[in-house]
């Protein structure tokens, strides 16, 4: 099993409108000046400069190693880089199982739009087997040539129950309750390399709600090998405690 999607992309996705997804950010290597080449993960702005991403994107790195790019769907124009002031991976993150693949980072001066997070009343209970999950990122769009995208792309994927995702031809009982899967049975559309840490969004009523984080998968777009996402709701108390604290 591929244990992360540091180099995964949105397969079979479409370009996001220029004024859309302003809450989505790119995570960059600070030492690489060109944003396109520096980008290696995604994240979601929750407000007050706090960005939610995957723990595997930041574990082993110092806050000075990365920067946030925000304010544009194009990596090469219109946005701005921000320095990181705090970086907090989930304390019980397990690098083997990828349980707890969630982290918070805070960017100095980041003031773009934010996205609401799933809570017990609005988020997870509304997801059904026929629910659609919107996933977006700048990751690989061509697995043959490993070509990534300069423009933010989005794809709509069907939610898969954990029972389906834990089937013998899928992940064979390795998907935990704090994860969920999304993707087509026949494969094709998927998140992929460099999409890690990015948002998985469900539209509850008419409101987009952050329900997951791109975590890992067994290659990209393969039949019955759905994308696996960190479920946000079980970590809501941890998120609220950190983001509401005065620093």
The CB-side HSE value for 38 (13 A sphere, CA atoms) comes to 19
Residues 6+ apart with CB under 8 A from 3: 56, 95, 96, 98, 216
pLDDT for position 217: 83
pLDDT for position 131: 84
**Rounded to the nearest 5°, which phi and psi values hold at 152?**
-60, 130
SS3 195: coil
Burial of 180 (0-12, 13-18, 19+ CB in 10 A): buried
Q: How far is CA 85 from the centre of its chain?
A: 21
pLDDT for position 1: 34
| Cα–Cα dist 217/225, whole Å | 7
Q: Which two tokens stand for residue 125?
A: 């209970």
Structural domains of the chain in order of their starting residue, each with its CATH number: 22-114+235-244 (2.40.10.10), 117-233 (2.40.10.10)
Place of tokens 């859309």: 20
Q: Where are the beta strands (DSSP E) in the chain?
A: 14-15, 24-29, 39-47, 50-53, 66-70, 80-89, 103-107, 116-117, 132-137, 140-142, 147-148, 153-160, 179-182, 199-204, 207-216, 227-231
Q: Which two tokens stand for residue 198?
A: 């990015």
Decide: 146 and 137 in contact? Cβ < 8 Å. Answer: no
**DSSP, res 23:** T
232 bridge partner residues: none
How far apart, in Å, are the Cα atoms of 222 and each of 70, 145, 164, 188, 228? 31, 16, 15, 6, 13
pLDDT for position 246: 63
pTM of the predicted protein model: 0.90
Q: What is the pLDDT along the chain (247 residues), one digit of tens a residue?
A: 344 444 334 545 688 898 899 999 999 999 999 999 999 999 999 999 999 999 999 999 999 999 999 999 999 999 999 999 999 999 999 999 999 999 999 999 998 999 999 887 654 555 777 788 999 999 766 555 567 889 999 989 999 999 999 999 989 999 999 999 998 876 655 566 678 999 999 987 788 999 999 999 876 767 677 899 999 999 999 999 999 976 5
List residues with catalytic annotation.
56, 101, 196
């Amino acid at each position: 099993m591929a244990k992360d999607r540091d180099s995964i992309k949105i397969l079979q996705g479409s370009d996001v409108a220029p004024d859309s997804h302003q809450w989505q950010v790119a995570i960059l290597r600070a030492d690489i000046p060109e944003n396109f080449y520096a980008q290696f993960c995604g994240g979601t702005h929750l407000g007050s400069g706090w960005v939610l991403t995957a723990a595997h994107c930041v574990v082993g790195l110092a806050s000075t190693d990365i920067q946030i790019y925000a304010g544009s769907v194009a990596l090469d124009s219109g946005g701005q880089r921000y320095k990181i002031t705090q970086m907090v991976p989930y304390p019980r993150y397990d690098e083997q199982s990828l349980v707890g693949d969630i982290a918070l980072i805070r960017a100095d001066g980041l003031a773009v739009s934010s996205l609401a997070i799933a809570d017990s009343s609005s988020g997870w209970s509304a997801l059904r087997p026929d629910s659609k999950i919107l996933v977006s990122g700048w990751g690989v769009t061509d697995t043959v040539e490993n070509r990534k995208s300069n423009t933010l792309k989005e794809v709509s994927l069907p939610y898969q129950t954990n029972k389906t995702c834990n089937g013998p031809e899928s992940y064979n009982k390795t998907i935990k309750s704090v994860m969920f899967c999304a993707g087509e049975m026949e494969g094709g559309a998927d998140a992929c390399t460099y999409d890690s840490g990015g948002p998985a969004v469900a539209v509850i009523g008419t409101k987009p709600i952050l329900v997951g984080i791109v975590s890992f998968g067994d290659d990209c777009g393969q039949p019955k090998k759905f994308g696996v996402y960190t479920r946000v709701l079980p970590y809501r108390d941890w998120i609220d405690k950190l983001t509401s604290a005065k620093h």
